[in-house]
Amino acid sequence: MLDCAQPLRPQHHSIRSHLCLITRTDIAVGDVLPALLLGVLQGLTEFIPVSSSGHLVLVPHFVGIDTPGIAFGVALHLGTFAAVVLYFRTDLALLIAAVFGVGDAVLVSYYRRLAALLVLGSIPIAIIGVALRGVFEAAFASPTAAAGFLMVTGLLLLAGEAARSRRGGITGATADIDDEHTMLGHDPGDPEGLTLDAIGVRQALVIGFGQCVALFPGISRSGTTIAAGMSAGLTRPAATRFSFLLALPALIGATVVSVPDLAEGTAGFGPLALTVGIVAAFVSGYLAIRWLLALVARDRLTGFAIYCLVVGGGSLIALSAGA
């Protein structure tokens, strides 16, 4: 939370002085404003491929507010989890029905297979995330590491787009796509790309191991899994939908593993601020999912790659200058 008693660094004076002024008004904003900022950051950058973890390390550092603890980050994940559930409620209902063999035989077969692939894709992060948890958590204390890894995200996104181009994918191709083809991740500009009904064990494992890399701050989970999916042969929309569905078991696992951290409190954020942060993460996360799924159907991810390279490189320069 914002600590107005700490001395201000010169480059932070303007921003923090205004934040502190707001927190001392009669409306008693207190820690609500930082929680709101962090919630919006979490929601937007969890799904837009620019790394939520990297922004939650770098933004507090440069703005001059305390970096949120693990417990507060886990709490924000509840908001992004709810956003995925709401947006993909139809897919999730069909996935659950398929597990119990309820519904049309064709849909049951497809969704039961998709459920198995999501479980398979979640195994790598379950093993590596627990085994190397201390290594990943230590990296969160380093803004320099977050900035460097943000540049890695940019390179991974460029690699994914390059793989799509090599198999003949083009940008800007449009066609009338019905709801069924949209849910499968059909891409008129990438006819050789695999849709969700054609994804196999190899693709699921490639995406799953890509998700493990994103345990480092600055490496985007969505960016890495989308790029890994495209490199493994999926269309951009199919890779994006699989990435978002794969986020659910990852978010559940992160919450379960971090239960002891939750018991220690949420880094000074009160109940009101915590609620504001979760709601902000939910709303911004839901909007980010809608926007990105519409975007990937027609445009490249190159713009996000450039953003990550510029912000990561600029942050490294600022940090080396003592910021």
pLDDT at 276: 93
The burial of 235, by beta-carbon neighbours within 10 Å (0-12 exposed, 13-18 middle, 19 or more buried), is given as buried
Average pLDDT along the chain, 323 residues, taken 10 residues at a time: 51 53 46 89 91 89 75 83 93 93 91 95 92 86 94 96 84 51 78 91 96 92 95 94 92 75 62 90 95 88 96 96 82
pLDDT at 113: 95
Taking the CA of residue 41 as centre, how many other CA atoms within 13 Å lie in the half-sphere pointing to its CB? Answer: 19
Q: Taking Cα atoms as reference points, which of 63, 32, 30, 24 lies closest to residue 274?
A: 32
- Sign of the alpha-carbon torsion through 178, 164, 202, 133: negative
pLDDT at 178: 44
pLDDT at 27: 38
DSSP H helical segments within the chain, as ranges?
Answer: 13-23, 32-47, 52-63, 70-87, 89-99, 105-131, 133-139, 143-166, 179-184, 201-213, 221-231, 236-257, 259-263, 271-296, 302-320
Cβ neighbours of 181 (radius 10 Å): 15
pTM above 0.85, yes or no: no
pLDDT at 43: 93
Q: With beta carbons less than 8 A apart as the criterion, state whether 248 and 210 touch.
A: no
pLDDT at 130: 84
Rounded to whole angstroms, the Cα distance separating 243 from 221 reads 8
Long-range contacts of 18-25 (CB under 8 A, 24+ apart): 19/65
pLDDT at 180: 56
Rounded to whole angstroms, the Cα distance separating 172 from 174 reads 6
